Amino acid sequence: MTPKKLWIGLAIVMIASFAVLIFYGTEIYRKVPPIPDQIVSADGTVIATGQDIKDGQNVWQSIGGQTVGSIWGHGAYIAPDWTADYLHREAVLLLDELAKKEGKTYKELPDDEQAKYQVLLKKELRTNTFNKNKNEIVFSPERAKVQKQLSQYYSRLFMNDPSMSELRDQYAIPKNTIKDRGRMARMNAFFAWSTWVCITERPGDDVTYTNNWPHDEAVGNVPPPSLHLWSGFSVLLLLACVGLLVFYHARNKEEEINEALPLEDPLRNMKPTPSMKATLKYIWVVALLILVQMLAGVITAHYGVEGSGFYGIPLDQFLPQSVSRSWHVQLAIFWIATSWLATGLYIAPAVSGYEPKYQKLGVNVLFGALLIVVLGSLTGQWLGVMQKLGLVDNFLWGHQGYEYVELGRIWQILLLIGLILWLILMVRALLPALRRKDGDRHLLLLFTLSSVAIAMFYGAGLMYGRQTHMAIAEYWRWWVVHLWVEGFFEVFATVVAAFLFTRLGLLRLKSATNAVLFSTIIFLGGGILGTFHHLYFSATPTAVLALGATFSALEIVPLVLIGYEAYQNYQLSKSTKWIQAYKWPIYCFIAMCFWNFLGAGIFGFAINPPIALYYIQGLNTTAVHGHAALFGVYGILGIGLMMFVLRGLYPDRQWNDKLIGWAFWLTNIGLLVMVTISLLPIGIMQSVASIKEGYWYARSAEFMQTDIMHFLRWMRVPGDILLAAGEFLLVVFIIGLKFGWSLKEKR
């Protein structure tokens, strides 16, 4: 297939996919669950106002939001999902109140009479009592009484009631997490409303706003037929598309590896320009961020076994779990993104052979801007969680509460400006090469377009405001997490790898170009609309569930041939003697293929079908996929790209293979051990508990604090030690390139 036809195919895929994504985004806007002017009891007593609910969402965000348990299944794993927890407690208390209404005690009744109240409970909870004319939700006297009891319970938990100390410790929630009773009352209103969304049926439908999530048979939340239907369809579609892809590959297979390999390294005599040399400081910062991120991960993991401290040190009073987890996630994104941005800044002048005026100054200015964003956003998150900022200031400077985009709005804007500056630096260096109509042009154009997408799509995180409805905020948040991180960075990395191999003379340009364009079509064909698989239960219409199930299955299709890609990379590493200088960057690409297959493919698809995610969203199965995909794929790939840059910056000497080899193997083996002997068994046991007892139980302290769970959490230690040792040796190796201990004889 010619590049022209592939470009047409790519354009069709992108235009059609984004049209559908935006159209159903408008459907989410139209069909969001209502935030009423007020919630009232049947006698007209105001329980909470709509402004209380909105402010309560901001209070929840200020304490860490999705880093302290979760709402609608999105968030952290130590504390419960607050909507599932609230719903279960509400059901238990309401059964008692319904029986008391008739002068009876529910627990003392025989099974047949209890069944009567269970039916009344479902009717009480599932009936949509939103009055559209008055824009208010009406609670029965019994439900209003239960809401008051639950408000008292959560106030004791999040404030400083001594009787809740043990439970706070189990949830890794410091005492006085919320210091002000007014704030606490508003967060209770938000909990009540977000739970009402989970159990209230949509008008004219027999499923709730969240498609009957969370699973809890006691209140009638069981998987609707649509979940089974679209899960089955997604599997059938996956099998069909896998067959088509294998057929296409067999029919159109081109030998990409260049038969006439260069006798010497084509890049050996390339002289790095001043701006290319200036990227070295980026790599040094990446090394520092890796160490800090690793430390934040150790602290966060330990909070799972000692919720109020770190080996006896009362660390939660100074560095709560919500802060350490936020830092752990944000630092991972920062160092991975920085390594890729540095690679782009290095590659652009290398490809074009042109160093624009003031390019080095621009690279240095961008470096300073990134440092300001990193340090400023981490500080703001700490100030926000420690309740040192007002709700408005917290949104602007502190902790937004949404996972992966925790940084305050000002820092988001500054980061977007930094990405635009990066794009300008890239394009001005690439312009001479883009004007040349040689064989590189297609790869260069795709490289440029992916750079534009990286810079611009982060702006999706600015599309929601401080008090935007949570269903809408989730829609835009996943534009950033899925499209930006998992989408266009992937395209960028694929193109960079192809550039590197073609410039080394190892791949034939034409076949590599066609392969990259075809891979991009296949990946984005499923990836863009696959964004919806994160939104099955985020109060979105059933059509979103159908699209998410269908296209998330297509995301797995390109991974079927990942073994071929890994084998090809391995062949390249053995193709000629001089290529041994690039052994470890290529090994990182091979490892990335492995983690793409295992972490993104197997672990990803295991939780993607709607019927699977219904039971296991937000359990440790998600953490398995998250660690294996984010670090295993994007982190290892970032390290590989860094290695290529370092090879070019230190061209004259061989590397200390023993040091970098130990770093490579310890990092990958440590990640595999951590995931498979700790996170995965915990996730599987939680999944069984969720299916048998209900989602609330799988996330409860009652289940998570059993002896076997404590043992499995401690089993993270061997993997963590290996992974930490590997990362530490990687940093030692990078520093050693400057001071000599990572270098050997001349090449």
**Both tokens of residue 695?**
């989602």
Whether the pLDDT of residue 255 is over 80: the answer is: no
Within this chain, do residues 521 and 413 fall inside the same structural domain, yes or no?
A: yes
685 in a domain, yes or no?
A: no
562-565's contacts with Cβ under 8 Å and 24+ in sequence apart are: 562/593, 562/596, 562/597, 562/601, 563/593, 563/597, 564/249, 565/593
Within this chain, do residues 214 and 248 fall inside the same structural domain, yes or no?
A: no
pLDDT of residue 570: 77
| pLDDT (mean) for 474-491 | 86
C-alpha neighbours within 13 Å on the C-beta side of residue 19: 6
**Both tokens of residue 730?**
């990687």
The rounded distance, in Å, linking the Cα atoms of 170 and 164 is: 10
Sheet strands (E) in 453-533: none
Whether the pLDDT of residue 428 is over 70: the answer is: yes
pLDDT of residue 503: 79
Cβ proximity of 64 and 51 under 8 Å: no
Cβ proximity of 60 and 74 under 8 Å: no
pLDDT of residue 526: 86
Range in 291-300, 501-510, 525-534 with the lowest mean pLDDT: 501-510
CB count in 10 Å sphere of residue 202 = 17
Within this chain, do residues 211 and 233 fall inside the same structural domain, yes or no?
A: no
Percent of the chain with pLDDT over 70: 97
What distances in angstroms separate CA 512 from CA 13, 271, 356, 505, one per listed residue? Answer: 20, 25, 28, 11
717 in a domain, yes or no?
A: no
722 in a domain, yes or no?
A: no
Range in 326-335, 583-592, 678-687, 716-725 with the lowest mean pLDDT: 583-592
Q: What is the DSSP letter of 539?
A: S
Last residue of a domain, one of 615, 649, 683: 649
| Residues 301-346: tens digit of each pLDDT | 999 999 988 888 899 999 999 999 999 999 999 999 999 899 999 9
Whether the pLDDT of residue 113 is over 90: the answer is: yes
414 in a domain, yes or no?
A: yes
| Residues 204-228: tens digit of each pLDDT | 999 999 999 999 999 999 999 999 9
C-alpha neighbours within 13 Å on the C-beta side of residue 700: 16
Residues 6+ apart with CB under 8 A from 247: none
Cβ proximity of 661 and 635 under 8 Å: no
Which residues sit opposite 379 in a β-bridge?
none
Within this chain, do residues 170 and 106 fall inside the same structural domain, yes or no?
A: yes
Whether the pLDDT of residue 553 is over 90: the answer is: no
Within this chain, do residues 400 and 510 fall inside the same structural domain, yes or no?
A: yes
Chain-centre distance of CA 356, in angstroms?
Answer: 36
481: region left, alpha or beta (phi > 0 left; psi from -120 to 50 alpha): alpha
pLDDT of residue 477: 96
Beta pairing, strands 130-131 & 136-139: antiparallel
Please give the torsion angle defined by the CA atoms of residues 130, 131, 137 and 138, in that order, rounded to the nearest 10 degrees. -110
pLDDT of residue 330: 96
pLDDT of residue 258: 62
3-state secondary structure at position 327: helix
Q: Say which residue, 225 or 497, is predicted with more confidence.
A: 225
pLDDT of residue 267: 75
| pLDDT (mean) for 281-294 | 96
Chain-centre distance of CA 437, in angstroms?
Answer: 39
**Both tokens of residue 644?**
């290529």
Domain interval for residue 488: 227-252+279-649
DSSP element (H, E) containing 624: helix 620-629
Whether the pLDDT of residue 272 is over 80: the answer is: yes
| Residues 346-364: tens digit of each pLDDT | 999 988 889 999 999 999 9
| Number of independent structural domains in the chain | 2
pLDDT of residue 247: 82
Which residues sit opposite 746 in a β-bridge?
653
pLDDT of residue 242: 84
pLDDT bracket for residue 562 (50, 70, 90): low
pLDDT of residue 73: 96
| pLDDT (mean) for 73-83 | 96
Range in 24-33, 131-140, 578-587 with the lowest mean pLDDT: 578-587
Cβ proximity of 378 and 391 under 8 Å: no
Range in 108-117, 256-265, 584-593 with the lowest mean pLDDT: 256-265
pLDDT of residue 324: 97
The rounded distance, in Å, linking the Cα atoms of 419 and 457 is: 10
**Both tokens of residue 230?**
């679209």
Q: What is the DSSP letter of 33?
A: P
| Residues 39-68: tens digit of each pLDDT | 999 999 999 999 999 999 999 999 999 999
The rounded distance, in Å, linking the Cα atoms of 723 and 663 is: 9
**What rounded mean pLDDT belongs to the chain?**
92
pLDDT bracket for residue 253 (50, 70, 90): low
| Residues 631-648: tens digit of each pLDDT | 999 999 999 999 999 999
| pLDDT (mean) for 370-384 | 97
Q: What is the DSSP letter of 174?
A: -
Last residue of a domain, one of 606, 627, 649: 649
Within this chain, do residues 50 and 101 fall inside the same structural domain, yes or no?
A: yes
3-state secondary structure at position 678: helix
64 in a domain, yes or no?
A: yes
Cβ proximity of 444 and 430 under 8 Å: yes
Within this chain, do residues 334 and 431 fall inside the same structural domain, yes or no?
A: yes
Q: What is the DSSP letter of 677?
A: I
660 in a domain, yes or no?
A: no
Within this chain, do residues 550 and 645 fall inside the same structural domain, yes or no?
A: yes
Residues 6+ apart with CB under 8 A from 112: none
**Both tokens of residue 663?**
């770093």
Whether the pLDDT of residue 410 is over 90: the answer is: yes
Percent of the chain with pLDDT over 90: 73
φ, ψ of residue 741 to 5 degrees: the values are -75, -10
Whether the pLDDT of residue 368 is over 70: the answer is: yes
The rounded distance, in Å, linking the Cα atoms of 447 and 425 is: 14
20 in a domain, yes or no?
A: no
φ, ψ of residue 257 to 5 degrees: the values are -70, 130
643 in a domain, yes or no?
A: yes
Whether the pLDDT of residue 269 is over 80: the answer is: no
pLDDT of residue 502: 82
pLDDT of residue 25: 95
3-state secondary structure at position 557: helix
Within this chain, do residues 395 and 507 fall inside the same structural domain, yes or no?
A: yes
C-alpha neighbours within 13 Å on the C-beta side of residue 364: 8
Whether the pLDDT of residue 257 is over 70: the answer is: no
| pLDDT (mean) for 701-714 | 96
| pLDDT (mean) for 9-27 | 95
Q: At what angle do helices 620-629 and 657-674 cross, to 10 degrees?
A: 160
pLDDT of residue 312: 85
CATH assignment at residue 346: 1.20.210.10
pLDDT bracket for residue 123 (50, 70, 90): very high
- SS3 sequence of 87-118: HHHHHHHHHHHHHHCCCCCHHHCCHHHHHHHH
Whether the pLDDT of residue 259 is over 70: the answer is: no
Within this chain, do residues 210 and 287 fall inside the same structural domain, yes or no?
A: no
Last residue of a domain, one of 587, 614, 649: 649
| Residues 126-185: tens digit of each pLDDT | 999 999 999 999 999 999 999 999 999 999 999 999 999 999 999 999 999 999 999 999
pLDDT of residue 256: 60
The rounded distance, in Å, linking the Cα atoms of 487 and 390 is: 35
3-state secondary structure at position 123: helix
**Both tokens of residue 487?**
């989408």
Cβ proximity of 211 and 613 under 8 Å: no
Within this chain, do residues 180 and 236 fall inside the same structural domain, yes or no?
A: no
Within this chain, do residues 211 and 302 fall inside the same structural domain, yes or no?
A: no
DSSP element (H, E) containing 655: strand 653-655
